[in-house]
Amino acid sequence: MPRSLLTLCLLLALAACKPSAEESHTQAIIGAVLIDGNGGPPITDSVVVVSGSRIRGAGSRANVPVPAGSDKIDGRGRFLVPGLIDLHVHLGTRGGPGFTASDYTRQRIEKNLNAYLYFGITTVRSAGADREAGFEVRKAQRDGAPLGARMFTAGRGFTAPGGPPSQEIGKITRQTDDPDDARRQVTELASQQADLIKIWVDDAHGKQPKVKREVIEAILEEARKHKIPVVAHIATLADTAHLVDAGAAGFLHMIRDTEEIDPAFIVKLRDLRLVFAPTLVRQELAWLYTEKPRLLDDPGAARTLEPEVIAAVRALPKGQPSETALLEFERARRNTRRLASSGVLIGVGSDGGSSIDFPGLMTHREIELLVESGFSAVEALTAATRNGAIALGKLDELGTLEAGKRADLLLLEANPLEDVRNLRKIDRLMRDGQWIERDKLVVK
C-alpha cells in the first residue's frame, strides 16, 4: 500500500473513533412534564437526556441520571412532547395569495418546510406533487443540511388521465390507464428512491375519471418488488377494500360514502396496522375560515402567511356548505372515531400546501378536529407522533421520546392534555438534537 494511502486510512480511522464535538455534546432537560407519545400517563418530574442528535434517556427523575458535564435546561412548568408528524402535505406549491403548483421551486419547498417546523411539525410526508427540486431538498437534508421539517416524499403520484387532482395541479400527476406504463413509472420512482408511492383513487362524485383497478394492481405489484409502500387517497369503502386486498400500506382521507363498514374489515385494517390520515380539515376547509375567522388571528398565521393571503381569505364570501359536503364530513368524523376505537391506527395529515390549506396551521386544526370527533387529547397527540412514525416505517427513529430515538421535541408553555391547542404554545423546539431559532426561520 502506498504510504499516502496508508496515512489517509489512519486519518479516516482516527476520525471514525473520535466523537465529534456535536456527538459528545450532552443536554439534559430537567423537571418538565413528559408526554412521550406512547399514549400512557404523563411523567410529572422528568429527565430527558440528549446526546448529539439522539435521546439517550427519558423518564422520571428517579430513573434517569443526569450525566456529569451535561448542559442543564430547566423544564419546570413546561410540557415536553415529541415533534409532530404530518403524513399528508404538498410542498412547494404555496406562495403568495395564489395556489400555483406550476411555480414549484426549491426555495418555496424550503420555506414550506420551515413553516411546518415553526409550528412544531418536525417531520412531513409529501404526498405526490414533488419533482426534481423536492428530491434535491431531501438529499440535502439526508446529507446533513438543516432545512426545516424532515421530509419524506412520494415524488409524483398516479391518477387516471384527467383524474383528480389534475384540475388543481395539472400535468404534475402521472396520468395513465395502461398497467405496463404504470409499472415502468414505478421503476422510475424506485430509481429516484421515492419513500412511498401515491395513488389518487377518487372520481370526484362521478365527475372525473378514476384510475383503473388493473392499473392500481400493476402499481402495487411493481412497488412490492422494489419494497416501496403505496399510500392511496381514498373516498369510498369499495376502493379502500380493493386497495387493502391489493396490498396498500396506508390511506389519506377517510371513507366517506358510507358508515356501513363490516366489522371484519375493520379488524383486518387493525391487524395489518394500516394507518389512515383522515385529513378531515381538507373537508372542513370549504367553510372553516368563514365560520372560524379567529383562526387567522393566530400569531403563527401572521408569521407564516403574507398579509395579502390573510386578507384574501378573510374576504372569501360566506357560502353555505352543500348538504353532501356536510354529510360526508360528519361521516368521515364518525368513521374516524369508529376505526380508532376498534384499534385501527389513525395518524395526522393536513393536506397542507394545497389550496388555502396552510402549512402547519392546518396540521394543528386537524389535531383539534380529531378531538372534536371524540379522541382524547392524548389519543390525538399519539396520532400526531407515534402513529405518524409507524406510517413512515420509522418507529425505531421517530415518534416518541425514548432512548435511541432522534431528539425531535417540543417544550410547551401549557398542558396539551388539557387543551390540544396548547401544542401551538411552543417555548422551545428541537430537531435532531439542535434547538431551532424559530424567529429566524424563513417561512414566506
> How many residues sit close enough to Zn ion to count as binding (CB under 5 A)?
1
CA 111/CA 91 separation, integer angstroms = 9
- Report in angstroms how near the CB of residue 363 gets to Zn ion at its nearest: 13
Query: Which residue lies nearer to Zn ion by CB, 36 or 351?
Result: 351
Q: Is the dihedral of CA 265, 380, 259, 235 positive or negative?
A: negative
Query: Which residue lies nearer to Zn ion by CB, 194 or 377?
Result: 194
Q: Site mask, Zn ion, residues 250-279, x = CB under 5 A?
A: ------------------------------
- Report in angstroms how near the CB of residue 352 gets to Zn ion at its nearest: 9
Query: Which residue lies nearer to Zn ion by CB, 79 or 116?
Result: 116
Query: Which residue lies nearer to Zn ion by CB, 82 or 157?
Result: 157
- Report in angstroms how near the CB of residue 202 gets to Zn ion at its nearest: 10
Query: Which residue lies nearer to Zn ion by CB, 141 or 159?
Result: 159
Positions in 130-149 near Zn ion (CB under 5 A): none
Cell of 146: 438543516
- Report in angstroms how near the CB of residue 403 gets to Zn ion at its nearest: 35
Query: Which residue lies nearer to Zn ion by CB, 43 or 252?
Result: 252
Positions in 336-365 near Zn ion (CB under 5 A): 351
- Report in angstroms how near the CB of residue 126 gets to Zn ion at its nearest: 10
Amino acid sitting at position 400 = T
- Report in angstroms how near the CB of residue 192 gets to Zn ion at its nearest: 19
Is residue 239 near Zn ion by the rule CB under 5 A? no
Q: Closest CB to Zn ion belongs to which residue?
A: 351
Chain contacts with Zn ion (rule: CB under 5 A): 351
